[in-house]
Chains A and B, each alone.
Chain A
Amino acid sequence: NQQQTPAPAPPQEDGNGNEEGSGDSGSDTDPVDSGEVPDEVQFFNYPFMADPRNIDGAMTNFMLDLTIIGNVHQTMTELIFVDEVLTMVPGAAESWEISEDGLVYTFNLRDMNWEDGQALTAHDYALTLFRALDPNSGSVKAGDLFNIENALEYFQGNADKEDVGIRVPDDKTLEITLKQVTPYFINLTYAGLFTPTRQDMVDQYGEQFGIIGDSILASGPFKVKEWVNDVHLILEKNENYWDADSVLLETITFKMIRDVQAIMSELMNGTIDRTSVTIQEWRDRLITTGNFSYGDYVLAGTYFLIFNTDYEVNGVKPLSNVKVRQAISAAIDREEATFMLRGDMAIPATGFIPSTVGLDNHNFREVTNYNPIEAIQARVPDPKALLEEGLAELGISINDFTIEFLAGGTTAQHRSEAEFFQEVLQRELGLKLEITQVETAVRTQNSRAGDFGITYSLWYAGQNDPGIYFNNWLTNLETHSYKTGYDNQQFDEYVLAANSTMDEEIRRHNFNRAEWLLAEEDCIVAPIYHPISSMMTAKYMRGFVNQNFAPTAFKTVYTVGRE
């Protein structure tokens, strides 16, 4: 039995304007002043770096798509900051219950209508789940649902639809039965999979469903007005939304802008109203204009080095020795790396789990009170000596080999990262790296095949749960995103134990041990920094609510005093 959770896998990994950050505070815009009068005409322009692919919650995994879905559909629940604490609040479900054994989830839906006035029922929500599980649809989301009773069997064609633990007792109730305790499952309810789909639309549009504007029938605050591929996607207010009264924006225009510089220029020129900025120079310049309010958010992500213990060069496996790995991890000054590669747009890593990820309503880093980077640096005062020691155990000398460093991709940023580590390891340890810079498509293939020595990567948290971070290093996995040859029963036990209980205490302990193994004791990964995103918003914008780990919803947004 394997558990895999999807990462949000944003196509551009450093959220250049595409993702909403997972910040530490509720709103980055100026506090709502009740005396303000909203503008007559309400609109909002927002950049996207690529065309959305599929506006269909059952199918897509992409941040762009999910952002649109989050605004045209009503998710089952919503996740927002309430008094600076991320809290799940009712969405389509007015309330929900989880059974004692943690296996049965019951959602009670409110009265809602589709864009065209037809009533929305629990069947519509079930349809999305079934479509995701339909083996013919080839959905990338199916794996998320395999913990549902008989879901995997259904997917493989061994079970009937009726046997699957997705049931609709009445039009207003959706009942999900799991086959085992799944702590993260509730996190799925505020994302794309728990949005409604209407059968007649699917029938009508077939292959084109979710791909052309007309096929998208809204259930949320906005409906699709126009979608011109690669140019823009325009949403307008959905008058049939159950909470339409509180929606002020008339239109939202998602502009496709491919070039980061261009996005910044448009923001300067006022042709877009908000974006996430990850380039320090731009951030500083935009701030000095005084036209923007901003907030810097540490994103729920970690950049980290991954060591391939199976990497073989000249007949030896230099990275199979834990001392070698620890020496490398300890040799890197996180401050320097952060400054050189990100400037102010990152903070040095405090652990493998990002500083903003929570564990059942608490901050994981705070509750574990453990910093593997500090720990390893304290443990290894002289990395070079440890490296020699490790190499001596392997019977090789430092000049005998170079290690292949698989860069993250082909952009200038990836280039700098690779060059940085090459230079630093050479300087600190005398260790030579040889950089392989290949396109993402090849890079993914290489890392999956274990065709690298060291590689540098980023993981963003798709859900507010540490569990997903560890899955890749489980031993008996069919597919690894990074094949490192890491094989430690102990680690597997920790992770599985944490993932199959709802008990916070047990989970905390086991996750802590797993992180300790991964980042310190066995040192398979070396976390470097957590990225920061600066949300730049035009001064006249109001009402942004951060929904960490869920697509941003713009239903509360409005403008005051736009010129």
Chain B
Amino acid sequence: MAKYFLKRLIYAFFTVFIVITITFFLMHAIPGDPLGELVGRLPQSVQESYYAKYGLDKPVYQQYFIYIQNLFLRGDFGESIVYPGRSVNSIIARGAPISARIGIQGLAIGISLGITLGIIAAYKRGKWMDYFVMFVALFSISIPSFVFAAVLQYFLTVRYQIFPVTGWGTFAHTVLPAMAFGLRNIGVKARFMRSTWLDVMGQDYVLAAEATGMSKFDVTFKVILRNALTPLVTIIIPELAFIFVGTFVLETIFSIPGLGTYFIAAVSARDYPMIIGQTIFISTLYVTSMLVLDFVYVLIDPRVRLIKK
């Protein structure tokens, strides 16, 4: 087991390494210049000193080696070009928890409501309630998030001043973005849960459990839920990785100081260290989540054995 995970860990490490390499060169291949806007109108000599400051005067492969060196020897993601003096590490360390907070709250809304609706729909299969829930679910999937967020903002902050428009710090600030984040999730999770639930409900062991005289409550929560959770967990864990990087749309509309805006802004400003730093962050999270998933599988589904006997 330990050996298996060690092996996976090494694979994961290589995956991230290759991702870094690909992104690094891909990024330098695209047009655009991180300093263009900043120093474009400055004398040549000033420009040069600026490029030199960020090591951008060297050939790309050299920049790559320097970067890799700093990364592996000191865990240093470098310094942002757009925000001079700020280390990418610190920006991530500050922004990721904020993004994650919105993500977790949104996911919590999405998962709890989605699961509930999905289960209701499954039990009422073929009835109007089922159709209604599924229609709502589909509808929630079909609205672009920026439209929904804008409408939400308009009604709950401008029209009825229930929540602050933007800002960060209190719980009230997180409500709207989490709602907007959760909405789509409700639909996705409800649909997923419904089909999984129906699947499990049709299994013989559910009938067998009932035949032992279990109550409806126990059958629902101890047998069906337990078994329906496995597939759910497998789709949620990778999602958990991505909540740390936030969503650009919501973070822009609600001015949340998370990572999402930084990410898109970094890409469009060609803030190389920021882009790579965040890419590493995201892919590490993703790869880790896959590892965790494997681990969780073993925990929640006894049928899964990592090594055949």
Contact = CB atoms under 8 A, between A and B. Distances in A.
Interface of A: 2, 4, 6-7, 9, 51, 53-54, 59, 61, 135-136, 138-140, 142-143, 146, 152, 155-156, 207-211, 228-232, 255-259, 261-262, 265-266, 268-269, 271, 410, 438-442, 444-446, 448, 472, 478-479, 481
Given A262-B255, A441-B36, A271 B164 contact: yes
A441 B32 contact: yes
B42 interface: yes
Contacts of B39: 140
B91 to A, nearest CB: 8
Contacts of B165: 257, 262, 265-266, 269, 271
B38 A61 contact: yes
Contact of B166 (A257, A441, A442): A257
B297 interface: no
B43 A265 contact: no
B238 interface: no
B253 A155 contact: no
A51 B158 contact: no
B54 to A, nearest CB: 8
Contacts of A442: 31-32
Given A142-B46, A268-B158, A444 B85 contact: no
A140 B42 contact: yes
B192 interface: no
Contacts of A271: 164-165
A6 B53 contact: no
B156 to A, nearest CB: 11
Contacts of A256: 255, 257
A269 B153 CA distance: 12
Contacts of A207: 85
Interface string B79-96: 000111110000100110
Nearest to B42: A143
B269 interface: yes
Contact of B157 (A2, A135, A257, A269): A269
Contact of A53 (B36, B84, B91, B167): B84
B177 to A, nearest CB: 12
A442 B39 CA distance: 14
Contact of B153 (A136, A138, A265, A438): A265
Contacts, number: 146
Contact of A211 (B40, B47, B85): B85
B33 interface: yes
Contact of B168 (A2, A4, A138, A231): A231
Contacts of A446: 31
Nearest to A267: B165
A228 B44 CA distance: 35
B189 interface: no
Contacts of A54: 84-85
A7 B164 contact: no
Interface in B157-172: 157-158, 161, 164-169
**Which of A6, A140, A155 gathers most chain B CB within 10 Å?**
A140
A214 to B, nearest CB: 13
B184 interface: no
A500 to B, nearest CB: 17
Interface string B142-183: 000000001001100110010011111100000000000000
Nearest to A6: B41
B164 A444 contact: no
A51 B45 CA distance: 28
B95 to A, nearest CB: 8
Interface in B248-264: 251-255, 257, 261
Interface residues of B, number: 50
Interface in B25-67: 31-34, 36-47, 49-50, 52-53
15 contacts: A4-B43, A51-B83, A53-B84, A152-B45, A155-B45, A210-B85, A211-B84, A228-B168, A257-B165, A258-B261, A259-B254, A261-B253, A262-B153, A445-B32, A478-B44
A448 B40 contact: yes
A393 B200 CA distance: 80
Contacts of B37: 9, 440-441, 444
A53 B31 CA distance: 24
A230 to B, nearest CB: 3
A262 B154 CA distance: 9
A265 B252 contact: no
B21 interface: no
Given A53-B83, A210-B85, A441-B268, A231 B257 contact: yes
A218 to B, nearest CB: 19
A464 to B, nearest CB: 18
A135 B53 CA distance: 10
B194 interface: no
Contacts of A261: 150, 153, 253
B41 A445 contact: no
Contacts of B168: 228, 230-231
**Which of A54, A135, A265, A268 gathers most chain B CB within 10 Å?**
A265
A140 B46 contact: yes
Contacts of A262: 153, 165-166, 253-255
A9 B252 CA distance: 22
A259 B33 contact: no
Given A136-B49, A258-B255, 13 more contacts: A7-B41, A140-B39, A143-B43, A229-B257, A255-B166, A256-B255, A258-B252, A265-B157, A266-B166, A440-B268, A441-B33, A479-B41, A479-B43
Contacts of A138: 49-50, 52-53
Contacts of B44: 478-479
Contacts of B269: 440-441
A261 B166 CA distance: 11
A53 B158 contact: no
B158 A441 contact: no
B267 to A, nearest CB: 9
Contacts of A209: 85
A7 B82 CA distance: 18
A230 B257 contact: yes
Contact of B42 (A6, A136, A438, A441): A6
B270 interface: yes
What are the 6 A-B residue pairs with the smallest beta carbon separation, nearest first?
A230-B257, A441-B32, A138-B53, A444-B36, A211-B85, A478-B44
A192 to B, nearest CB: 15
A229 B87 CA distance: 13
A282 to B, nearest CB: 12
A261 B152 CA distance: 13
